[in-house]
Homo-oligomer: A and B are copies of this chain.
């Protein structure tokens, strides 16, 4: 539970939504981004895209490994809200540090200055709102679905991301890429199957509706972040991140006051923290930044593939680290995911 909450915030917390109409009006097509952002050559773009994708994959899988490690080491009694706040604060600090370096080397320009307009900054609090709504729903969905069932249902995010990516960002996926996306969802779910997975089929109607709503919220969040970050392609990503994370900090501070004010006051802010808690916070901060970078230099589709591959990597690494056994379902799911990645790349060429 604790992990999931941090993780969900991390993935969706750096999400900014804008008014859909305004986005439509400005026609944020792939072509626009390509021409506006084209300061470096295609090759260096590809290299940057590969590096951020690789970073996201490695960070996401090490995230899951840290969780297993922390579970093995016993339960932690820290406040989830304080950990979430620290993740946001750390991301803010990293963004400022990166900006400081850039200012020293390149000087302050229109694109990397921190000061902003109301028009630019007004959309940045929205991800935090989306996050709050999703977190609220998350408490309700456990009335209908158990935790492993919820992990299975979360794969609906893959489909919702694809659909909203198409609708909101108006980017086209080829027929083969759509097929690949359905396969990615089926493959990831297959890889996670265990003997008790069939319980999820007994989910009542309300549970399905909530799972779909949450998948849509999560998809919206991801696609909106991409829209907002790419809306100003020349704006420095660290400035964009800074504003995203500032509002993340603010909303998490409110959450601390509402939910855990007494605990923090009586036991202290860092009560129950251990080395592994700090490592998890560091990891979540870094992978949050990696998500933003993938949104800036690649897209939500790459993000989904990256986190899916991370899920498979985690399982393989866990075999060596923790002596886990891989199931036949895992091998079948991995095969389907691999074919999906292949088809996605083929589909791109034939588009």
Contact = CB atoms under 8 A, between A and B. Distances in A.
B328 A186 contact: no
Q: Which of A186, A193, A333 has the most CB of B within 10 A?
A: A186
Interface in A179-208: 179, 182-183, 186-187, 189-190, 193, 195, 197-198, 200-201
Nearest to A180: B339
A46 interface: no
A342 B201 contact: no
Interface in A299-351: 325-329, 331-333, 335-336, 339, 342-343, 346, 350
A186 B346 contact: no
Given A186-B332, A328-B200, A346 B176 contact: yes
Given A198-B327, A201-B328, A183 B346 contact: no
Given A328-B152, A332-B189, A346 B175 contact: yes
B182 A328 contact: no
A234 to B, nearest CB: 38
A195 B350 CA distance: 40
Given A186-B339, A350-B350, 15 more contacts: A175-B346, A176-B176, A176-B343, A182-B335, A182-B339, A183-B336, A186-B332, A186-B335, A189-B328, A189-B332, A190-B329, A190-B333, A193-B332, A201-B326, A201-B327
Interface of A: 152, 175-176, 179, 182-183, 186-187, 189-190, 193, 195, 197-198, 200-201, 325-329, 331-333, 335-336, 339, 342-343, 346, 350
